[in-house]
A and B are shown apart, each in its own frame.
Chain A
Amino acid sequence: MIKQLSWKVGGQQGEGIDSTGEIFSIALNRMGYYLYGYRHFSSRIKGGHSNTKIRISVRPIRAVSDELDVLVAFDQETIDLNAHELHEGGVILADAKFNPTLPEGVSAQLFAVPFTKIAQDVGLAQMKNMVAVGASSALLGLPLEAFQSVIEEKFSRKGQQVVDKNMQAIQRGVEYITEQTGGPLNALRLEKSDGKKRLYMIGNDAIALGALAAGARIMAAYPITPSSEIMEYLIKQLPKFGGTVVQTEDEIAAISMVIGANYGGVRALTASAGPGLSLMTEAIGLSGMTETPAVIVNTQRGGPSTGLPTKQEQSDINAMIYSTHGEIPKIVIAPSTAEECFYDTIQAFNLAEKYQCPVIILSDLALSLGKQTVEPLDYDRIQIERGNLVTDDQELEELENSQLFKRYQFTDNGISPRILPGKKHGLHHVTGVEHDETGRPSENPLNRKKMMEKRLRKLEQGIDFKDPVHLDCKHEEADLLIVGINSTRGVIHEAMERLEEKEGVKVNHAHVRQVLPFPTDILREQMAKAKKVVVVENNATGQLANLLKLHVGMADKITHIGKYDGNPFLPSEIYNQCKELLVHGHV
């Protein structure tokens, strides 16, 4: 019995690769296994190689594995591109239609299964996906009923006939492979799962659901990979809660609309990737200067410019901290699991209103689109805190002599009372020009200094963000501290386990979740406990490593492991480079 295995399905983009993976993984999720799914896709709609790799385990996982157990191939290209990942004894299930062959040097078992032919016999060539799902389930010895109930659900609105045909396709897949192998392969028998009910979602789903739960009712956005799912989810759900999504003409309009809506008193968000964030920077400054809350999601992808639109990267860290001219208070948080995507998004809205400033939720492609198991989300953890907002039923005193309300009143903590337009006796001005306490433009040097300090003071004492650094630091004295951000949480964890197990070294892991204000103290404490610090990040210049050097120091200890070829880290890559560092002192 094995504890985990990896299954991959590949073919031409647009061929139903996604839905094959979808049905397979929903069924496994319901059986109680932990899953992690990652899609490899290109910036085109039809054609080009595409694959989905799904890892199945009896314990929590959040990374793709180094190796592959089962490869389902709808074309020879899939075999040629992916067979090298198969470990010895791995299995290929390939459509007999294209006379599949094994590439040289690959020792996997190849089963040519007439996916297309069986599907045609049943009624429709497209159902080859179902035949493949059936064959896979039989090979792994998984109960067929789990898959059947998913199909029932997925196709029931298309009529019983469609359901029946899909069931037949699955059944025929099972029968065919059973004839070939005589039953499930022992090397692929998974341990029994705990059978618990969990969710299976991509980070973008969790962000969108978090926004809805946080009370966001307006989203303004421009479509872009890899953030569009957030918008798509809210387009579907917001109308049920009275809200709406506006697809704007560009990202500048999107962030401006978000600022307008927040000024009006509605929690609103926008989501984009690097190119969109570049366009938004001026308005992010407006949000900071006018102290208007705004929540902005950046699902990082390969940059610069159009870069690698469908690939993983973490190269916007600096841009999120520094972009926009002038100096404003700004918060940048970085969830590292889909679960955190949900809870952090709720927190983001609270922080934006509490500190009356822009909050950027920094994600990355692998987190936003990678599909992972999530423990049931807790309704009771949804807290809505609106900060110093004068409520609707609160009566205001009449302002004497037609004075204006002090919307930007100087206070000890820098946070001033916020009034929504429409309120009687609350008139005030809002402007991106430097202003006095009532919002009137002012170039008075004394006022300027005080107002600048007031705004910056809001975040100076630190912010009320739960879990600014995820710590997995069991050693008081460690040989190594690995630091990461966003989606690398799982892969670092696995490398850490492997290093401890195989090399006998003591490894701690700190994952940065709050990027701005930087959690210097927490990181300093952990860095002090380690002989060496390795920063694992998907960029070329070591942005996170440089932040550590800037804020904490200890530059001599810090090494950066970067990967910027568009693909997420594999556990072995981190393991090998850390090992190298420990043995030779450098990577």
Chain B
Amino acid sequence: MATFKDFRNKVKPNWCPGCGDFSVLAAMQRAFANQGLEPEDVAIVSGIGCSGRISGYVNAYGFHGVHGRALPIAQGLKLANRDLTVVAAGGDGDGFAIGMGHTIHAIRRNVDITYIVMDNQVYGLTKGQTSPRSEMGFKTKSTPKGSIEATIAPMEMALTAGAGFVAQAVSSDLKQLTRLVEEGLKHKGFSLINVYSPCVTYNKVNTYDWFKEHLVNLDDEEGYDPSNRMQAMQKLMEHNGLVTGLIYQNKERKAYEELIPGFDEKPLAKQDLKINKEQFEELVAEFA
């Protein structure tokens, strides 16, 4: 059986020392091993940006696509081979700016994949511009006088879009993060895990210390019931989205694959391509 070390490869990440993404990488590797997966069972589809490189740092199948399109690629892959564990990963620009349309629709569609967003609330690889996750007033190269646009609230957005699994974590708590990734992998349907993953170079506001001070851990909240959507929304609004833990899970909702008429358990990629002559003649008869 594979251990988390089997999911490591020899590539040295090109992230800055102290980058929150290192924890996300470690959490993924541990979660895969803990779930009894082998490297060839896993495919990671990632976007573009610092975080997008993550698919190249895990010893598994990896697809590093174009900016903002990790989700449609990942959904196509999962529909092609439902035996694979498919994880999409990227940054907040990838998922909530250029790819926001896909994020909402992936939530609606509910294909059984796990989406991990490394949310650093800034554009890192392009050297420090504002992100849709930046706070109002946040000063960057592109907003020298401070951002004048409202911040996207991804967890609230996911709840209203009908998500079946909504969780949030922070890079500094590897244990909770790993557990949430595992929960996400186990969840039947689309799971969204937003990870506060501090950018030590371009975000001097939302730092590890800042998160320590502001985040509320739902694991410590007595009586918090993640199956209660209304309560989830209330909690998020109460704390301005600054919570960690499993925010909401709907175990009843069926995954997209379960609802496709005639969709077999056996992966499409392993099915015979050729249709037989009888079937063909039947198809053609419609046009006679």
Contact A260 B262 (CB under 8 A): no
Chain B CB within 10 Å, residue with most, of A29, A257, A283: A257
Contact B83 A422 (CB under 8 A): yes
**Of all chain B residues, which has the CB nearest A264?**
B80
Stretch binding the partner chain, chosen from B60-68, B114-122, B141-149, B180-188: B60-68
Report A456 CB to chain B, min CB distance, Å.
Answer: 21
The reply to whether the CB of B260 lies closer than 8 angstroms to some CB of chain A is yes
Q: Which B residues are CB-close (under 8 A) to A254? A: 72
Q: Which A residues are CB-close (under 8 A) to B275? A: 212-213, 215, 241
Give residues 248-303 of A contacting B (CB, 8 Å): 248-250, 252-254, 256-268, 282-283, 285-286, 290
Report B58 CB to chain A, min CB distance, Å.
Answer: 10
Contact A29 B288 (CB under 8 A): yes
**Of all chain A residues, which has the CB nearest B273?**
A215
Stretch binding the partner chain, chosen from B23-31, B40-48, B129-137, B163-171: B40-48
Q: Known: A421-B81, A430-B62. Contact between A242 and B40, CB under 8 A?
A: no
- Interface flags for B206-244 (1: CB within 8 Å of A; 0: not) read 000000000000000000000000000000000000000
User: In whole angstroms, how far apart are the Cα atoms of A376 and B284 in the complex?
Assistant: 8
Q: Which A residues are CB-close (under 8 A) to B287? A: 199-201, 205, 374
Task: Identify whether the interface residues of A are mostly helix, strand, loop, or mixed.
Answer: mixed
Report which of A214, A241, A257 forms a contact with B75, defined as CB distance below 8 A: A257
Give residues 518-539 of A contacting B (CB, 8 Å): none
Contact A249 B66 (CB under 8 A): no
Q: Which B residues are CB-close (under 8 A) to A282? A: 66
Report A345 CB to chain B, min CB distance, Å.
Answer: 14
Report which of B39, B66, B75 forms a contact with A286, defined as CB distance below 8 A: B66
Report which of A239, A262, A377, A404 forms a contact with B284, defined as CB distance below 8 A: A377
Contact B288 A256 (CB under 8 A): no
Contact A440 B273 (CB under 8 A): no
**Of all chain B residues, which has the CB nearest A342?**
B284
Contact A264 B62 (CB under 8 A): no
User: In whole angstroms, how far apart are the Cα atoms of A450 and B80 in the complex?
Assistant: 32
Stretch binding the partner chain, chosen from B89-97, B247-255, B263-271: B263-271
Contact B270 A392 (CB under 8 A): yes
Q: How many residues from A make CB contacts under 8 Å with B? A: 73
The reply to whether the CB of B59 lies closer than 8 angstroms to some CB of chain A is yes
**Of all chain B residues, which has the CB nearest A200?**
B287
Contact A265 B80 (CB under 8 A): yes
The reply to whether the CB of B175 lies closer than 8 angstroms to some CB of chain A is no
Q: Which B residues are CB-close (under 8 A) to A382? A: 274, 280
Report A268 CB to chain B, min CB distance, Å.
Answer: 7
Contact B284 A402 (CB under 8 A): no
Report B152 CB to chain A, min CB distance, Å.
Answer: 17
The reply to whether the CB of A582 lies closer than 8 angstroms to some CB of chain B is no
The reply to whether the CB of B153 lies closer than 8 angstroms to some CB of chain A is no
Chain B CB within 10 Å, residue with most, of A246, A376, A441: A246
User: In whole angstroms, how far apart are the Cα atoms of A440 and B270 in the complex?
Assistant: 27
Q: Which A residues are CB-close (under 8 A) to B174? A: none
Q: Which B residues are CB-close (under 8 A) to A244? A: 79, 260-261, 263
Report which of B53, B73, B80 forms a contact with A256, defined as CB distance below 8 A: B73
Q: Which B residues are CB-close (under 8 A) to A475? A: none
Q: Known: A242-B263, A253-B105, A427-B40. Contact between A432 and B64, CB under 8 A?
A: yes
**Of all chain A residues, which has the CB nearest B53?**
A441
The reply to whether the CB of B179 lies closer than 8 angstroms to some CB of chain A is no
Q: Which A residues are CB-close (under 8 A) to B279? A: 240-241
User: In whole angstroms, how far apart are the Cα atoms of A424 and B64 in the complex?
Assistant: 20
**Of all chain B residues, which has the CB nearest A383?**
B274
Q: Which A residues are CB-close (under 8 A) to B40? A: 421-427
Contact A246 B284 (CB under 8 A): no
Contact A261 B76 (CB under 8 A): yes
Report A319 CB to chain B, min CB distance, Å.
Answer: 19
Report B75 CB to chain A, min CB distance, Å.
Answer: 6
Report which of B69, B73, B75, B81 forms a contact with A422, defined as CB distance below 8 A: B81
Report B3 CB to chain A, min CB distance, Å.
Answer: 13
Give residues 39-60 of A contacting B (CB, 8 Å): none
Contact B64 A429 (CB under 8 A): yes
Q: Which B residues are CB-close (under 8 A) to A81? A: none
Contact B81 A213 (CB under 8 A): no
The reply to whether the CB of A76 lies closer than 8 angstroms to some CB of chain B is no
Give residues 5-30 of B contacting A (CB, 8 Å): 9-11
The reply to whether the CB of A414 lies closer than 8 angstroms to some CB of chain B is no
Contact A257 B268 (CB under 8 A): no
Report B67 CB to chain A, min CB distance, Å.
Answer: 8
Report which of B77, B270, B273 forms a contact with A263, defined as CB distance below 8 A: B77
The reply to whether the CB of B200 lies closer than 8 angstroms to some CB of chain A is no
User: In whole angstroms, how far apart are the Cα atoms of A379 and B56 in the complex?
Assistant: 44
**Of all chain B residues, which has the CB nearest A215?**
B273
The reply to whether the CB of A433 lies closer than 8 angstroms to some CB of chain B is yes
Report A385 CB to chain B, min CB distance, Å.
Answer: 11
Report which of B10, B76, B273 forms a contact with A260, defined as CB distance below 8 A: B76
Q: Which B residues are CB-close (under 8 A) to A252? A: 69, 72, 102
Q: Which B residues are CB-close (under 8 A) to A246? A: 75, 79, 109
Contact B69 A427 (CB under 8 A): no
The reply to whether the CB of A163 lies closer than 8 angstroms to some CB of chain B is no
Contact B10 A402 (CB under 8 A): yes
User: In whole angstroms, how far apart are the Cα atoms of A377 and B283 in the complex?
Assistant: 11
Q: Which A residues are CB-close (under 8 A) to B104? A: 249
Q: Which A residues are CB-close (under 8 A) to B78? A: 260, 264
Q: Known: A422-B84, A440-B11. Contact between A258 and B65, CB under 8 A?
A: no
Contact B283 A237 (CB under 8 A): yes
Q: Known: A260-B76, A432-B65. Contact between A427 and B263, CB under 8 A?
A: no
Cβ contacts A to B, 29 pairs, < 8 Å: A199-B287, A201-B287, A212-B283, A215-B274, A217-B271, A239-B261, A239-B262, A241-B275, A241-B279, A244-B263, A246-B79, A246-B109, A253-B72, A253-B102, A253-B105, A260-B75, A261-B76, A261-B77, A263-B73, A263-B77, A265-B81, A286-B65, A384-B273, A392-B270, A402-B9, A421-B61, A422-B41, A422-B43, A426-B40
> Interface on B for A, CB 8 Å cutoff?
9-11, 38-41, 43, 45, 53, 55-56, 59-66, 69, 71-81, 83-84, 101-102, 104-105, 109, 260-264, 268-271, 273-275, 277, 279-281, 283-284, 287-288
Given contacts A201-B287, A244-B79, A263-B80, 17 further A-B contacts (CB under 8 A): A29-B288, A200-B288, A241-B279, A249-B101, A253-B72, A253-B105, A257-B79, A260-B45, A260-B63, A264-B79, A384-B273, A404-B9, A420-B81, A422-B269, A427-B40, A430-B64, A431-B55
Report, nearest first, the 5 A-B pairs whose CB atoms are least far apart: A260-B76, A215-B273, A264-B80, A265-B269, A257-B76
